[in-house]
Amino acid sequence: MIKRSTLALAAMLGALPVPAWAQAGLPDRADSGDTAALLAAAALVLLAGLSGIALQHCGRLRPGNRMSVLLQSLSITAVVTLVWTVAGYTIAFGDVSGGWIGAGNAWMLIHLSDLRPGTAVPESAFVLFQLAVATIAPVLMTGAWAERARFGWVMLFSALWTAMVAAPLAHWIWGGGWLARSLGALDWAGGLGVFLPAGISALVLALMMGRRLDPSPADATALQANALSLTGTGLVWIGGIALCAGWAFSASDAAAAAAINAHIAMAASLVSWIGLARLSASKDGNAGLGEPGPAVLAGLAAVATGAGFISPGGAMLTGVVGALAAWYGKRLLARLAIDDTNAVFATAGLAAIAGSLLCALFQSVDFGGTGYASGQTMIGQIAAQAIAVGVITIWSAVVSAIAALMASILFPMRVSEPAERAGLDASSHGIARSV
């Protein structure tokens, strides 16, 4: 039988306040709907890079090199994840100091707050989304050096590029840095921060690496190649919608508006691309439906800057212009004999430039946009966007060249001639036969 003194002691202990151990460290102030939406967007953006862009690239390559791009994309995602964890996130989104790079308060992702300032989501969810965004550009660039880059160089260059190019640019644009704070440049979802630097860097690397021994294009009628490219294009389309919606950091009207704008822009770009292919096709009337990937990517790159600032009509016109920029950019690369294997400069870089400038135009309330910041005008916003394009172009070109040379100290940029002729699947990865 329990003694009365024991019961009394238990009653006293029960009356004492008990710490809420179950709540410790949890984002109890976060909005569950916003958090779920952001986590879903991050997963879909990762899917677009890991599978979508990679499949789109490898479907446009010759047999013997396709698996190498898939392996590069998977490995780049892992490398970027580690770089972003150690230093990339704090460089991009650490506490604002001088406006050039963030403070070191979040290196190794320490001291993350339960809410990311300015949002209703935990900072850990914000980190995951930004990490997913950070993987897009390096994976895109695999299409520029495909069929000739050494695997070790690719890994080291991607790590350096993430720390030296991507992270500082993210701070300048989204982390409270000088491009947004002082200049007033706008970028909703990566036109300036992702697609433009990827395109410029791709051009620089293509020039540094030189032309392939056999730069002839892959067989555009190959069934397996088309299946890979089409599958990847569909994943890029879905991931592109998630990319633009996720930057609202909420399950809100802003997210829905950005998502529909992304969808419309990619659709308009694809239809425009088909029309351009029809106009330039031979007498058999081939509309070029076997290569929709560049069109969808161009539409996404073009609309990413303004997805949250413009109307659906503006998004449609932006998609059309993005397709035109990519179409004629590809032909310019061919005319100049620049071997950017999958024309990343044209489909990502040039389309992003066009979309970044059009954002300033279609942001006007007269065109259904959200309007300009207090004291800003259309001309002023166009000037801000143009200056941002110029600054990012110069930074990306110069620092990418430096990072490429740094990586080449340990690993030559290019495989040997016999390895290139044998195909990278076999020579670099021991895969005897590519799909």
15 or 307, which is more confident: 307
Residue 49: is its pLDDT beyond 50? yes
Question: What's the confidence (pLDDT) of residue 282?
Answer: 56
Cβ neighbour number for residue 4 with a 10 Å cutoff: 8
CA atoms within 13 A on the CB side of 304: 29
Instruction: Report the C-alpha gap between 32 and 108 in whole angstroms.
Output: 25
| Spatial distance between the Cα atoms of 229 and 44, rounded to a whole number of angstroms | 18
Domains of the chain in start order, with CATH, are 33-211+229-419 (1.10.3430.10)
pLDDT-derived band at 289 (thresholds 50, 70, 90) equals low
What is the reported pLDDT for 435? 47
Tokens read off for 109: 């992702």
Nearest residue to 106 (alpha-carbon basis) of 90, 118, 119: 90
Predicted pLDDT of residue 220: 56
Assign 25 a pLDDT band (cuts: 50, 70, 90): very low
Per-residue model confidence (pLDDT) at position 214: 84
Q: Alpha-carbon distance 183 to 260, whole Å?
A: 28
Q: What share of the chain is helix, strand, coil (3-state, %, to 5)?
A: 70, 0, 30
Residues 6+ apart with CB under 8 A from 15: none
| Mean pLDDT of all residues in 258-277 | 96
Letter for the amino acid at 37? A
Per the CB < 8 A criterion, the answer to whether 80 and 45 are in contact is: no
Q: Which tens digits make up the pLDDT trace of 352-389? A: 999 999 999 999 999 999 999 999 999 999 999 999 99
Q: Cα angle vertex 257, ends 113, 390, to 5°?
A: 75
Tell me how far apart the alpha carbons of residues 138 and 172 are, in angstroms, rounded to a whole number.
19
**pLDDT confidence bin for 221, thresholds 50/70/90:** low
In whole numbers, what is the pLDDT of the chain averaged over residues? 89
End-to-end CA distance of the chain: 77
Per DSSP, the three-state class of 346 is helix
pTM, two decimals, is: 0.90
Assigned token pair, 357 = 């400038």
Q: Band of the pLDDT at 18, cuts 50, 70, 90?
A: very low
In this prediction, residues 275-287 reach a mean pLDDT of: 68
The pLDDT assigned to 21 comes to 29
14 versus 245: which is more confidently predicted?
A: 245
CA distance 289 to 280: 13
Contacts of 87-91 with CB under 8 Å at 24 or more apart are 87/163, 87/167, 88/134, 88/162, 88/163, 88/166, 88/167, 89/127, 89/130, 89/131, 89/167, 91/163, 91/167, 91/168, 91/170, 91/171
